[in-house]
Amino acid sequence: MITQAPRGVQDWYGEDMRKRAIVEKTAREIAKTYHMSEIITPMFEHTVLFARGVGETTDVVQKEMYTFEDKGGRSITLKPEGTAGAIRAYLEHNMYAQPGPTKLYYVTQAFRYEKPQSGRLRQHHQFGVEFVGSASPLAEVELITLITELIAKLGLRDAKLHINSIGCKNCRKTYNEALLAYLKEHEDSLCPTCRERMQKNPLRVIDCKVDACKKIVANAPRTIDYLDEECRAHFEELKALLDELGIEYTIDTGIVRGLDYYTKTVFEFVDSNGFTLCGGGRYDGLVHEIDEKQDIPAVGFGMGIERILYFMEKEGIEFPPADPVELYVGILGKEARGRAYRIVDGLRRQGIIAETDYMDRSVKAQMKYANKLGAKKTVIIGTQELEDNCVKIKDMETGEQVEVALDGIAAYIMKQ
């Protein structure tokens, strides 16, 4: 149907758009205090970027990407997440040549073909941060601190930090051998996808959502028990820093994240029902995976805007009311139209929210409309008011009226 949007997308308007704008504005304001720069990357990239960066064995690449061939025969993909594109831009524009670290944030659209559910759409929006250039666990702590502050400012209470370490390539090899040995004992009970995954990337089986697989991996070896000395020290320092800041956390060995580029720290903020608000972690190998000439550590996170709004609605968090129309300028007769609109224009240029009549309504209908808009004050301008150079401004709550000169309307409203 022409008048019906495709499944899994949403039109943003009215109160929903206002709420979304508040969330995005809050996120941007907090990122600014962390000296982060906003980045906008293209809506689509070469498919190979996501295949190499996100990982060919992930659900995102195998099942969820919107991929097509353009008119030049190139394989193009609508971005399913923000990190790969941001790192590609970081490399293409030689941002690494500037004094580090580089701290980038974005509010972007993302596309994933998956079953629409509460707080997740096929076309959704993410607030994310990429912190590039630091190997210190303080980088993870900065992002966790930022998320904690954002959650608090939005009024969310049921969102707790869970952390884990999945190690680096060195200790991952030993872990994968142990995990593969365990999975082979239960291979016949795994889903077909996991039987294939366990040969290519056994860690992906830990992230499977099939109930039978979840029961099997519940007793599987955990990455945290196979960390080498460096990864263990990194994780211990991370915990110490969080303790120093008074940020509560739970060590959750089931977190591995769904993207292949993660190393060492992974984290999620989840509610009491296990529903994930946002997730992220360290990805020290991603820069090298995209450009083999570079080897730069990094950490980041992604947070769905729709998911945030869903959490806020679930917790019954009230948004501040919309700014009201401060003055409705009613028009009586065509002769007054030009001067009335000139007054409206002058009010708006001084930052005053003003509205007027565009529908040639009667004065009674205009006042009814002004009341529906919730206008704080109203004024009627006709030929008589123009001749007298004076109007009566009415307070819509008290009914009180005050006489004001035409050229004094803005000054009067601004004093209120």
Cα–Cα nearest to 186, from 166, 170, 210, 156 = 210
Domain with CATH 3.40.50.800 in the chain: 327-415
pLDDT bin (cut points 50, 70, 90) of residue 259 is low
- Per residue in 365-383, pLDDT (tens digit) is 999 999 999 999 999 999 9
The answer, yes or no, to whether residue 57 has pLDDT greater than 70, is: no
- Return d(Cα 211, Cα 260) in angstroms, integer: 22
Q: What single-letter DSSP state applies at residue 209?
A: -
Answer whether 0.85 is exceeded by the pTM.
yes
Enumerate residues 6+ apart whose C-beta is below 8 A from 169. Answer: 263, 285
As given in the structure block, the two tokens for residue 303 are 């947070």
Please give the distance of CA 56 from its chain centroid, rounded to a whole number.
Answer: 25
Q: What single-letter DSSP state applies at residue 199?
A: H
Q: What's the mean pLDDT when you consider all of the chain?
A: 92
pLDDT bin (cut points 50, 70, 90) of residue 197 is confident
Sign of CA dihedral 366, 370, 373, 378: positive
Helices (H), 74-136: 83-92
CATH superfamily of 327-415: Anticodon-binding domain (3.40.50.800)
The answer, yes or no, to whether residue 301 has pLDDT greater than 70, is: yes
Query: Is 82 within 8 Å of 50 (Cβ atoms)?
Result: no
As given in the structure block, the two tokens for residue 244 are 């120093």
The answer, yes or no, to whether residue 117 has pLDDT greater than 80, is: no
Q: Is 204 helix (H, G, I), strand (E, B) or coil?
A: helix
Domain with CATH 3.30.930.10 in the chain: 14-168+228-314
- Return d(Cα 144, Cα 128) in angstroms, integer: 12
- pLDDT score for 382: 96
302 sits in the region (left: phi over 0; alpha: psi -120 to 50; else beta) called beta
Sign of CA dihedral 30, 298, 110, 293: positive
Of residues 54 and 125, more confidence is placed in 125
pLDDT bin (cut points 50, 70, 90) of residue 254 is confident
Secondary structure (DSSP) of 22-90:
HHHHHHHHHHHHTT-EE----SEEEHHHHHHHT-TTSHIIIII-EEEE-TTS-EEEE-SSSHHHHHHHH
Q: Which CATH number fits domain 14-168+228-314: 3.30.2130.30, 3.30.930.10, 2.40.50.1020, 3.30.70.360?
A: 3.30.930.10
The answer, yes or no, to whether residue 56 has pLDDT greater than 70, is: no
- Return d(Cα 139, Cα 234) in angstroms, integer: 11
- Per residue in 283-297, pLDDT (tens digit) is 998 999 999 999 999
Burial class (CB in 10 A: 0-12, 13-18, 19+), 172: buried
